[in-house]
């Protein structure tokens, strides 16, 4: 009697293993196809955390607004990054001029409301 019980258990285990090896394939193939997940593109930040206003800033200025402009230019313009030091000097001005030219803005080297809007546009 004990031998029959062991044979029955062994047979059940083999049959159960076969059933499990087949059923995931059947269940998987019967599942509806998932919609493709869109790949997120890297979007440069619209705010670096230094300043959130739109006050005009230009060469000779310093502070949080200049740091924000420098940070946003670094994310938008590419190339060799500006030092985010809060000092609006000749190099920052040249990057602003380049950015304005590329974006079709008035090229004056001054970060005013329209340049701020372009820097923050996604």
pLDDT tens, the chain, 122 aa long: 545 555 555 555 555 555 555 555 544 555 556 666 555 455 555 788 999 999 999 999 999 999 999 999 888 776 678 899 999 999 999 999 999 999 999 999 999 999 999 999 86
Q: Is residue 32 in some structural domain?
A: no
Q: Is residue 48 in some structural domain?
A: no
Q: Is residue 47 in some structural domain?
A: no
Structural domain that includes position 111: 64-120
Evaluate whether 98 touches 118 at the Cβ level (below 8 Å): no
Q: Is residue 37 in some structural domain?
A: no
Q: Is residue 93 in some structural domain?
A: yes
Q: Is residue 105 in some structural domain?
A: yes
Name the domain count of the chain.
Answer: 1
> Of 52, 50, 49, nearest to 116 (Cα)?
52
Q: Which CATH number belongs to the domain containing residue 70 in this structure?
A: 1.10.101.10
Q: Is residue 83 in some structural domain?
A: yes
DSSP string, 58-122: -TT-BSHHHHHHHHHHHHHH-SSPPP-SSB--HHHHHHHHHHHHHHT---SS-B-HHHHHHHH--
């Amino acid at each position: 009697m004990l031998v029959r019980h062991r044979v029955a258990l062994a047979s059940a285990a083999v049959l159960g293993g076969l059933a499990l090896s087949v059923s995931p394939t059947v269940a998987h193939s019967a599942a509806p196809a998932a919609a493709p997940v869109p790949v997120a593109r890297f979007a440069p930040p619209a705010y670096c955390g230094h300043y959130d206003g739109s006050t005009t800033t230009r060469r000779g200025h310093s502070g949080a607004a200049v740091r924000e402009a420098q940070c946003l230019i670094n994310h938008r313009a590419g190339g060799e990054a500006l030092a985010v030091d809060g000092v609006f000097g000749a190099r920052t001005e040249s990057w602003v001029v380049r950015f304005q030219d590329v974006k079709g803005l008035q090229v004056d080297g001054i970060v005013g409301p329209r340049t701020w809007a372009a820097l923050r546009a996604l």
